[in-house]
Amino acid sequence: MPRLLAETDAPGEECGVVARKILCLEKEADAAAGLVTDPVLLVLAIGRRQQQPRAGIGRRRDENPALAAPERRIGEKREAKLFRVPGDGAVIVVHDQRDGGDAGVRHDGWHSDEKREAREIRRSQGRRNNVAGNSRKVSAMESSIFVTAERPLAEDWRCGGRLVVDLASLADNWRAAARLAGRAEAAGVVKGDAYGIGIEAAATALAAAGCQTFFVALPSEGLRLRPPLPDAPIYVLNGLPPRAAAEFSRAGLRPVLGSAEEVDEWAAFRAAGGTGAAALHVDTGMQRLGVTLDEAAAIAPRAKALGLALVMSHLAAADQPGHALNAAQLSRFRSVAQAFAGVPASLSNSAGLHLGPDFLFDLVRPGIALYGARSTAAAPPLSTVVTAEARIVQVRDVAAGTAVGYGASEHVRRPSRIAILGAGYADGYHRRAGSTDERPGASVHLHGRRAPLIGRISMDLIAVDVTDIPEARRGDHAELFGPNIAIDEVAERAETIGYELLTGLGRRYQRHYRGGA
């Protein structure tokens, strides 16, 4: 029986019927954390609202916003999905389908004294399990509740490092992108396993925050999104593989058609009675994917027959605002959008959001900005989504002049204390971020101070100088990147970009998910 800790229930009480399935509510957050091992859908149920409690099960069910409150004016039908995600976050998403489409209130937290004002329910402070987010108005036919059960970070002796993924910060970054988008819709790009943080958890949090449209690179990623997002438009950027049109249609995935061959195959499928929407990718200067401008002009009269729901292009130099290619691509895409009048148009990625309103069109596609890394120097600071930490395996004393690490590439200049961390390039921490006698490397953060890397990074180990941090001990965790060491700083030292660090995060970290929409 799946179990989830809920804030409104007294210790040990049960509460809640969803499609006649009882969710047992335990007094310990460990019960919820026990659910979280891999991204597996546990429950998919459609049930009717229960307005009265069963005898002897504790508080009234209508006091728990996740289990139907009559004052929320919801309709009779509800869909509830309970997920396991890696780490400490057990997730339940409840979709309440209203009659008519009246605006409702999305409740993402509640207060232990059940005090309600204007049908908003406030979150209590200092509770062991955390239900993150704030109530906010929504005008859609459905509202979602995103609930996570958490506990303090526990030590996992099996792992050398841990990742803390802040889903509330992910949602905040999406909201910031949505504000920059103005009247355009802000989609969510979750390709590359949501830039390394876990596609199911990320997409669920984004959907709960209000994101409606998603982009992945591969059909396999889109298929992973279907259980948590059964109705969301999901576009597959890498296009339509040969003979896959029927499979796309069955899965409800939308291919981004990027060549004349793909367009012809999709057209033949539709002409034979196949159904499903698609997008058209037009190359305006990237020289990677997309039909040519001439091909796009020939396709435009067939937009309806192809079921085109979007026409798009991709900016090649948006991270360089003054680059001449930006203006050239904008001019070309304007002509494309005019040719496909009535079909929503999309040009901007994360960096494109900072090029001005002319680049926004109908839909924007923020990617890296959602995950806390900067897409361009013009971007304002973002909320930190991922914190990577490595545990100190041992601390050793090293005499002045001693070489540290492979190749004897760096020598300490004073008697030093060196901490050896249990992570390395097998965990996605790039070897180039190491240090030599000629070139300083990256730093880590622990006990409120920075500690520079010493020598080369090994596959499983990193050496850092903790001479000035005498309290550093075996078992402590050092931040590799996060709120104190920006991921873009580490990327610069490694001569790469934040995208590569995030998407290269290894599977050996212990993962914790915090917060929600």
Q: List residues forming the annotated binding site.
A: 288, 459
448 dihedral zone (left: phi>0; alpha: psi -120 to 50; beta): left
Could you write out the three-class secondary structure of 162-228?
EEEEEHHHHHHHHHHHHHHHCCCEECEECHHHHHCCCHHHHHHHHHHHCCCCEEECCHHHHHHHCCC
Q: Are 424 and 459 in contact (CB under 8 A)?
A: yes
462 vs 292: CA distance, rounded Å: 48
3-state SS class at 116:
strand
Q: Which of 191, 371, 429, 499 is catalytic?
A: 191
Q: Give the pair of three-digit tokens for residue 338.
A: 């005019």
275 vs 262: CA distance, rounded Å: 15
Q: Which of 81, 304, 406, 425 is catalytic?
A: 406
346 vs 184: CA distance, rounded Å: 9
Q: Which of 148, 147, 123 is nearest to 135 (CA)?
A: 123
198 vs 385: CA distance, rounded Å: 12
169 vs 487: CA distance, rounded Å: 15
φ, ψ for residue 501 (rounded to 5)?
A: -65, -45
Q: Which of 186, 165, 184 is nearest to 175 (CA)?
A: 186
Binding residues for substrate: 288, 459
50 vs 345: CA distance, rounded Å: 43
Q: Are 412 and 464 in contact (CB under 8 A)?
A: no
- 406 an active-site residue? yes
Q: Are 366 and 189 in contact (CB under 8 A)?
A: yes
Burial of 492 (0-12, 13-18, 19+ CB in 10 A): middle
Angle between helices 167-181 and 199-209 (to 10 degrees): 50
Active site residues: 191, 406
